[in-house]
């Protein structure tokens, strides 16, 4: 089997995998969650690069031909280096989630005021403002970023539905709005954050702000990529399977993953 690998530091990439499988159900998928080392978002560039490379190499050595880094932090800190130095592009491809999201922004915002919520690592990399600045847009863009260091831990620990999570949702949304009260588009620049979308929308209540999750954008971009790269699409097997591996305990992964997938799964543990 020649699979599509999907990688995240933890459970967040499942929001991307869900959307990809809805659009491209025919392919075979292998999901890797490095839950034992999540979150990545507060780690240094060197560590995020080392962990991401290890995961990408593991996926390539276990039957993947194409790997989606379904993590903004790893896309921001490691994707470019891996693409340039660590893979053989004649047989291996690695894609991230930031570029497709950035390309979708101009068609979503009406007034050009865009807010981005993300991990401290993604915000510090400045990847979103830098990539958005490269776009030729008719409307000038005003970009504000807000780091939300508590959101991934709340989600990874399963505490995100509790009332205590409201405090940290309001805190970061209020801080973002104090940077720019005119924001009409909020990009969830972390693949974990769709699980907080209801609370985020509640914190934005009364404002005409569209909250954008990345799943459908990334799925659409992958589908377009495969149309443009027929050789890679032809090399992928099409039995419609999906396997899950985690660096944590599979029992813990299985029970938490159902919050993201709404279906039972049976993950396997891996060691590097």
Active site residues: 71, 190
**What is the layout of strands, in order, in the sheet containing 210-212?**
142-147, 113-118, 185-188, 210-212
Alpha carbon distances (Å) from 86 to 31, 53, 72: 20, 8, 19
10 forms part of the interface with ligand DGL (CB under 6 A): yes
- Residue numbers 48-77 binding ligand DGL by CB under 6 A: 71-73
Contacts to ligand DGL from residues 200-259, by CB under 6 A? none
- Backbone phi, then psi, for 171, in 5-degree steps? -55, -50
List the interface residues with ligand DGL, window 104-123 (CB under 6 A). 119, 122
Smallest gap from Cβ 39 to ligand DGL, in A, equals 3
Considering the complex, state which of residue 97 and residue 143 has its C-beta at the smaller distance from ligand DGL: 97
CA gap 105, 115 in Å, rounded: 11
DSSP 75: I
Query: Is residue 12 at the binding interface for ligand DGL, with CB under 6 A as the rule?
Result: yes
- Cis amide prior to 39 (ω within 30 degrees): yes
CB of 86 to ligand DGL, least distance (A): 20
Which of these segments, 4-12, 20-28, 60-68, 85-93, binds ligand DGL (CB under 6 A)?
4-12
**Which CB, 152 or 261, lies closer to ligand DGL?**
152
Which phi and psi (to 5°) does residue 167 adopt?
-60, -50
Under 8 Å CB-to-CB from 266, ≥6 apart: which residues?
A: 244, 250, 254
Asked if residue 194 binds ligand DGL (CB under 6 A), the reply is no
CA 109 to chain centroid: 21
Binding mask 131-170 for ligand DGL (x = CB under 6 A): ---------------------x------------------
Query: Residue 100 interacts with ligand DGL (CB under 6 A)?
Result: no
Contact 118, 189 (CB under 8 A): yes
Residues that bind ligand DGL (CB under 6 A): 8-10, 12, 38-41, 71-73, 119, 122, 152, 190-192
């Amino acid at each position: 089997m020649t699979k599509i690998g999907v990688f995240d530091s933890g459970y967040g990439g499942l929001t991307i995998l869900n959307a990809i499988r809805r659009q491209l159900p025919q392919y075979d998928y292998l999901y890797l969650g490095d839950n034992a080392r999540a979150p990545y978002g507060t780690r240094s560039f060197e560590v995020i690069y080392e962990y991401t490379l290890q995961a990408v190499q593991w996926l390539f050595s276990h039957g993947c031909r194409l790997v989606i880094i379904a993590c903004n932090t790893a896309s921001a800190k490691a994707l470019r280096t891996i693409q340039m130095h660590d893979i053989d592009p004649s047989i291996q491809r690695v894609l991230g989630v930031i570029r497709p999201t950035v390309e979708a922004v101009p068609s979503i915002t009406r007034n050009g005021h865009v807010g981005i919520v993300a991990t401290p690592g993604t915000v510090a990399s400045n990847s979103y403002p830098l990539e958005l600045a490269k776009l030729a847009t008719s409307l000038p863009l005003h970009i504000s970023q807000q780091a939300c260091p508590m959101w991934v831990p709340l989600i990874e620990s399963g505490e995100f539905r509790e009332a205590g999570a409201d405090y940290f949702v309001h805190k970061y949304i209020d801080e973002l709005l104090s940077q720019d009260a005119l924001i009409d588009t909020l990009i969830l620049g972390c693949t974990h954050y769709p699980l907080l979308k209801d609370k985020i929308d509640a914190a934005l209540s009364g404002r005409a702000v569209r909250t954008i999750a990345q799943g459908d954008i990334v799925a659409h971009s992958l589908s377009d990529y495969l149309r443009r790269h027929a050789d890679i699409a032809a090399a992928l097997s099409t039995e419609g399977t999906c396997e899950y591996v985690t660096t944590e305990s599979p029992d813990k992964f299985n029970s938490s993953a159902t919050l993201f997938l709404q279906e039972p799964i049976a993950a396997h543990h891996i060691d590097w």
